[in-house]
Amino acid sequence: MKSVFVTSSEQHSERWLQAFPDLSVVPTVKAYLSRAHHRGDICWLDTSCFPLAEAILLIKQLISENIRVIALSYMPSEQEAYRMLAEGARGYCHAEAVPEQLQEVAAAIMVGGYWMPPDLVQRLVSTALRVGPESAQPAPEGFDKLTAREYEVALEVGYGANNKEIAEKLAVSERTVKAHLTSIFEKLALRDRVQLALAVNRLPIH
């Protein structure tokens, strides 16, 4: 599956090409939809090129074609992230994110998950806990099946740490962190790190 980036900017980020060497860049959503595409494709939409209201309409248009949308912004904000996700975007990240993070975003969306920057995940978790029940929720089924290292990785996700930060703290490679996360998602029947962060923060130790 090729990565398609929609941006009207003549100079797009070199990091996109580093992350996806076979990417395609088109200037408009109309141009993208007019070409051959497949239901379930992933489209990276540079929302910095449009007013917020127009960007939302474009996201809805793409979703109506069963295309998964990742919103990109050169000036990301918490408010915009929540709005884009609420309107149906599957991911939201900085347009200048490092290649490894762009690949991480794509991987999460390809398996049916969602993605937003770790700091926004943590704020979302904090908000959910403030409006949720005061008593601790039971741990998800299968949590007791995690290995000690998987448990540590899960906790770090709950604190809002990204893969690089987790790798540095646990003295392992980012590749190892990704492998642990894949195993954690499978054991807990979760789709992405947002769901994992919410689950972790309902544990009694928090």
- Domains annotated for the chain, with CATH where assigned, are 4-113 (3.40.50.2300), 121-200 (1.10.10.10)
pLDDT tens for each residue of 46-99: 998 888 899 999 999 999 988 999 999 998 887 888 888 888 899 999 999 999
| Distance between CA atoms of residues 177 and 151, nearest Å | 11
pLDDT tens for each residue of 112-150: 888 887 777 766 666 555 545 445 555 556 778 889 899
Report the predicted TM-score, pTM, of the whole model to 2 decimal places.
Answer: 0.66
DSSP-based three-state secondary structure for 77: coil
| DSSP output for 185-197 | HHHHT--SHHHHH
Q: Where are the extended beta strands (E) located within 80-161?
A: 91-94
| Distance between CA atoms of residues 99 and 174, nearest Å | 13
Compute the C-alpha angle 170/175/179, nearest 5°. Answer: 90
Query: Phi, psi at residue 183, to the nearest 5°?
Result: -65, -40
Mention every residue, 6+ apart, whose C-beta is less than 8 A from residue 10.
none
